[in-house]
Amino acid sequence: MRDITLKQIAETLGISITTVSKALKNYPDVSDKTRKAVLDLAQSLSYTPNSFAVNLRTKESRTIGLIIPEVVHHFFSSVINGIIDEAEKNGYLVIILQSNESLELEQKQVELLMNKRVDGIIMSLSNESNDDEHIKDIIRKEVPFVMFDKISKLIPCSKVIINDQKAAYNAVEHLILKGCKKIAHIRGPVNPQNAIDRFLGYKKALEKYDIPFDSKLVYTCKNVTFEEGKAFAEQIAKEHPDVDGIFVITDLVAVGVLAHFNEVSINVPEQVKVIGFSNWFMSQVITPKLSTVDQPSFEMGVQSFGLLLEEMNARKEMKGFVPRTIELDTAIVARESTL
Amino acid sequence: MRDITLKQIAETLGISITTVSKALKNYPDVSDKTRKAVLDLAQSLSYTPNSFAVNLRTKESRTIGLIIPEVVHHFFSSVINGIIDEAEKNGYLVIILQSNESLELEQKQVELLMNKRVDGIIMSLSNESNDDEHIKDIIRKEVPFVMFDKISKLIPCSKVIINDQKAAYNAVEHLILKGCKKIAHIRGPVNPQNAIDRFLGYKKALEKYDIPFDSKLVYTCKNVTFEEGKAFAEQIAKEHPDVDGIFVITDLVAVGVLAHFNEVSINVPEQVKVIGFSNWFMSQVITPKLSTVDQPSFEMGVQSFGLLLEEMNARKEMKGFVPRTIELDTAIVARESTL
DNA sequence: TTGTAGGCGTTATCAG
DNA sequence: CTGATAACGCCTACAA
């Protein structure tokens, strides 16, 4: 059974393609009789417009691209969730690609999406990338573009972020208010803006409460894994047994920290308090329950698509578009690990 | 800067569109000189073919659709991972939709993807669906189609599955060999084939080891959540305090079970042993570490795309295609919860 | 070796 | 109210 086309409907009805097209799109200048005939036939043949042809004609595909570091990750999959949902509501589909934290892959994928002529791109940078050429290329080609979470401050595009610095500040302050005097920080990789900001927040909180900053208490993740958390916890316990608080870049790593302390029977929160970041679902399930910073991931997805839609619509109507940045609120979630 | 087209290249070079097209596609019947000129210009203008036009011409989009119950789920996100990776390697992009376990949404999404004219569809059924019309429609329209994990046995299409019944049998046998005499089962919803199969495996193992089957020991999840796990654990402890083993449909729920037992200080594995299903990353991180059945999720994704590719290629070459089913191996992962 | 012409299916313009 | 005609950008017989 071949696909139904306007032509076929036109021929069976003995009218022109033009008229069929108009009838289907509810143009006013078609007689009711004709319209009805067309609509009925189209219905019974279950006609659907050939989207390839429509794409070519209208120059839009009602499809957007999403590039994230990795799909298997609570935070990112929640964002995906928000984006897909919101996109679907607005008649858009979402192509997802993952950079696996590799700049090279990310570049290729941006190219893929542009060649595919998606209507817009949403992206969270890999740890290796920044305001690189491939990103600038998106701007140059005027493809609607939104960054979230791991962004590049230098790129002029819409962004959805949290105030990482403030959130980190609050997390460390929370440790301090709980009585911690010597606080270590397991930070994210050197490159990503949010790792930098969280580090700055950490520093600022120490400063504020007159705790001397000691760069030896800062441990830098390379891959941001559970295993790294375990390893750093071990290292911290050895190198600085008097550390009584740890602020960890993200929950997954923090859970690694807890796992190590469990293994060697270092009591959390008695001997050392731990706070993570991003409120991973699992954090409330482990023992002890992990205190953390709640990050509205689903909402980030929704807002990201919203901003993209704004830009796509503005461009369609040839209106100017000024990028906007939306900053979402975070909140400390105090649980057992900082009791 | 408008998009570069063949026409523009042809005009600047003062030759015909045809020749440009041929040169770019390395047809033999173009003089080296012309070809070089074209290639150089195309390069310097960074020409890329308009995929909308190519789609229309070739009637394929090099895009596939993927429908899964939910993205935020370790198992599914791992499968996505496998599919995206494999697809990208083969020059395909992946549009992802989630049914949220709703039949109605799923139907809409199948329609969306067909209207979009994706080259193929990969899908794991929602808990509400079966061999419904929207699925049959995919077959009728001869759209290449692969189901994985939650499949419908009645639909003639390629499938990637595990032997749920056998895997469940092994899990329950594991409990029995560890000394359990009274084993409860927290099963999945009534509808999905894999929940049924796992239940059957549970029954078969009991039978094999002469343990009487008691339907009161079977608890049926509705939403398959952490919370349900907690609630059922509580119920089991109350209704059947002598239960000494529980086989749980999936790790997430099993973790809920452990959480409740932790709270009320029922010792796992001393008083009751627990085994889950699917080897969620978190299972090795909680206390006690959860025994489970390892399910090769990433591999399922890879194989699913592989089968889809086979079918897409076969159809393109107008060759017949016989659906295949790939059954992947599972393995018991014994950890602390069944020591 | 190069170019002409027609078509993929839809939409938009403009004339009847 | 209806329809002929021309795009959209690419591909490919077939002709020159």
Q: Give per-residue pLDDT as tens, B151-170.
A: 999 999 999 999 999 999 99
Query: Quick count: other Cβ atoms within 10 Å of Cβ A309?
Result: 21
pLDDT at A273 over 70: yes
Pick B93's closest partner by Cβ from A72, A88, A112: A112
pLDDT at A179: 95
Helix (H, G, I), strand (E, B) or coil at A120: strand
pLDDT at B27: 83
Per the model's pLDDT, the better-predicted residue between B82 and A28 turns out to be B82
User: With contacts defined as CB-CB under 8 Å, which chain B residues touch A116?
Assistant: 51, 63, 93
State mean pLDDT over A109-138.
Answer: 93
Residue B239 CB contacts under 8 Å (≥ 6 apart), including other chains: B216
Q: Give per-residue pLDDT as tens, B135-155.
A: 999 999 999 999 999 999 999
Q: Give per-residue pLDDT as tens, A213-239.
A: 999 999 999 999 999 999 999 999 999
Exposure string (b/e) for B22-59, b if CB count within 10 Å is 16 or more? bbbeeeeebeeeebebbeebbeeeebebbbbebbbeee
Element (H, E) at A156: none
Residue B255 CB contacts under 8 Å (≥ 6 apart), including other chains: A285, B226, B229, B276, B280, B282, B283, B286, B290
A50 and B117 within 8 Å at the Cβ level: the answer is yes
Q: Tell which residue, A192, A246, A202, has the closest CA to residue A224.
A: A192
State mean pLDDT over B72-81.
Answer: 94
Q: Tell which residue, B156, B195, B153, B145, has the closest CA to residue B304.
A: B145
Confidence tier at A11 by pLDDT (50, 70, 90)? confident
B78 and A72 within 8 Å at the Cβ level: the answer is yes
Residue A131 vs residues A102, A134, A292, B226, B317: alpha-carbon distances, Å: 14, 8, 30, 41, 44
pLDDT at B82 over 80: yes
Confidence tier at B216 by pLDDT (50, 70, 90)? very high
Residue A127 vs residues A95, A150, A188: alpha-carbon distances, Å: 21, 8, 9
Query: In the numeric block, which tokens belong to residue B312?
Result: 């897409």
d(CA B244, CA B199): 18
Strands A93-98 and A120-123: unpaired
d(CA B79, CA B152): 18
- Whether A216 and A183 have beta carbons less than 8 Å apart is answered as no
pLDDT at B1 over 70: no
Interface-testing mutation among A93, A261, A283, A299, with chain B (most B C-beta atoms within 10 A): A93
Q: Tell which residue, A166, A173, A174, has the closest CA to residue A339.
A: A174
Output residues with Cβ under 7 Å from nucleic strand C. Answer: A 3, 5-7, 17-18, 21, 24-25, 47, 49-50, 52-54, 56-58; B 15-19, 22, 28-31, 33-34, 53, 56-57
d(CA B277, CA B248): 7
- Whether A38 and A24 have beta carbons less than 8 Å apart is answered as yes
Confidence tier at B37 by pLDDT (50, 70, 90)? confident
Chain B residue with CA closest to A84: the answer is B97
State mean pLDDT over A280-297.
Answer: 92
Proximity of residue B18 CB to strand D below 7 A: yes
Strands A145-148 and A183-187: unpaired
User: With contacts defined as CB-CB under 8 Å, which chain B residues touch A88?
Assistant: 97, 109, 112
Per the model's pLDDT, the better-predicted residue between B131 and B139 turns out to be B139
Phi, psi angle pair for A66, to nearest 5°: -130, 125
pLDDT at B180 over 80: yes
Phi, psi angle pair for A185, to nearest 5°: -135, 120
pLDDT at B36: 87
pLDDT at B67: 98
- For the CA of B187 and the C1' of C7, the distance in angstroms is 57
pLDDT at B316: 86
Query: In the numeric block, which tokens belong to residue B144?
Result: 């290449």
Helix (H, G, I), strand (E, B) or coil at A319: coil
- For the CA of B5 and the C1' of D7, the distance in angstroms is 14
State mean pLDDT over B274-286.
Answer: 91
Q: Give per-residue pLDDT as tens, A171-206.
A: 999 999 999 999 999 999 999 999 999 999 999 999
The dihedral through the CA atoms of A115, A155, A63, A317 has a sign that is: negative
Chain A residue with CA closest to B69: the answer is A81
- For the CA of B2 and the C1' of C2, the distance in angstroms is 28
- Terminal CA-to-CA distance of chain A, rounded, Å? 67
Q: Counting beta carbons within 10 angstroms of the beta carbon of residue B4, is it exposed (0 to 12), middle (13 to 18) or buried (19 or more)?
A: middle
pLDDT at B16: 87
Quote the radius of gyration of chain B (alpha carbons, Å).
26
Residue A171's DSSP bridge partners are none
- Whether A172 and A206 have beta carbons less than 8 Å apart is answered as yes
pLDDT at B94: 98
pTM of the predicted model over 0.85: yes
Q: Tell which residue, B202, B255, B224, has the closest CA to residue B76.
A: B224
Query: Quick count: other Cβ atoms within 10 Å of Cβ B110?
Result: 25
- For the CA of A21 and the C1' of D5, the distance in angstroms is 15
Chain B residue with CA closest to A63: the answer is B95
Exposure string (b/e) for B218-251, b if CB count within 10 Å is 16 or more? ebebeebebebbbbbbeebbeeeeebbbbbbbbb
Q: Tell which residue, A247, A94, A75, has the closest CA to residue A160.
A: A75
User: With contacts defined as CB-CB under 8 Å, which chain A residues touch B78?
Assistant: 72
Confidence tier at B90 by pLDDT (50, 70, 90)? very high
Interface A-B, measured as beta-carbon pairs within 8 A, has a size of 119
The amino acid sitting at B217 is: L
Under DSSP, the state recorded for A100 is: T
Average model confidence (pLDDT) for chain B?
94
Rounded (5°) CA angle B174-B179-B182: 90
Chain B residue with CA closest to A64: the answer is B95
Which range among B25-34, B164-173, B241-250, B268-277 shows the weakest confidence by mean pLDDT? B25-34
Cα B267 to the center of its chain, rounded Å: 35
Helix (H, G, I), strand (E, B) or coil at A316: helix
Q: Tell which residue, B35, B326, B96, has the closest CA to residue A63.
A: B96
pLDDT at B60 over 60: yes
A51 and B88 within 8 Å at the Cβ level: the answer is no
Helix (H), strand (E), coil (C) string for chain B? CCCCCHHHHHHHHCCCHHHHHHHHCCCCCCCHHHHHHHHHHHHHCCCCCCHHHHHHHHCCCCEEEEEECCCCCHHHHHHHHHHHHHHHHCCCEEEEEECCCCHHHHHHHHHHHHHCCCCEEEECCCCCCCCCHHHHHHHHCCCCEEEECCCCCCCCCEEEEECHHHHHHHHHHHHHHCCCCCEEEEECCCCCHHHHHHHHHHHHHHHHCCCCCCHHHEEECCCCCHHHHHHHHHHHHHHCCCCCEEEECCHHHHHHHHHHHHHCCCCCCCCCEEECCCCCHHHHCCCCCCEEEECCHHHHHHHHHHHHHHHHHHHHCCCCCCCCEEEECCEEECCHHHC
Pick B286's closest partner by Cβ from A84, A117, A286: A286
Instruction: Name the packing angle between helices B103-115 and B133-140 (round to 10°).
Output: 20
d(CA A301, CA A119): 17
Query: Quick count: other Cβ atoms within 10 Å of Cβ A26?
Result: 9
pLDDT at A1 over 60: no
User: With contacts defined as CB-CB under 8 Å, which chain A residues touch B140?
Assistant: 1
Q: Which of residues 35-74 of A touch strand D (CB under 7 A)?
A: 53, 56-57, 59
Instruction: Name the packing angle between helices A32-44 and A17-24 (round to 10°).
Output: 90
A80 and B71 within 8 Å at the Cβ level: the answer is yes
Share of chain A above pLDDT 70, in %: 99
d(CA B310, CA B314): 6
Average model confidence (pLDDT) for chain A?
94
Highest mean pLDDT among A30-39, A120-129, B128-137: A120-129
pLDDT at A297: 96
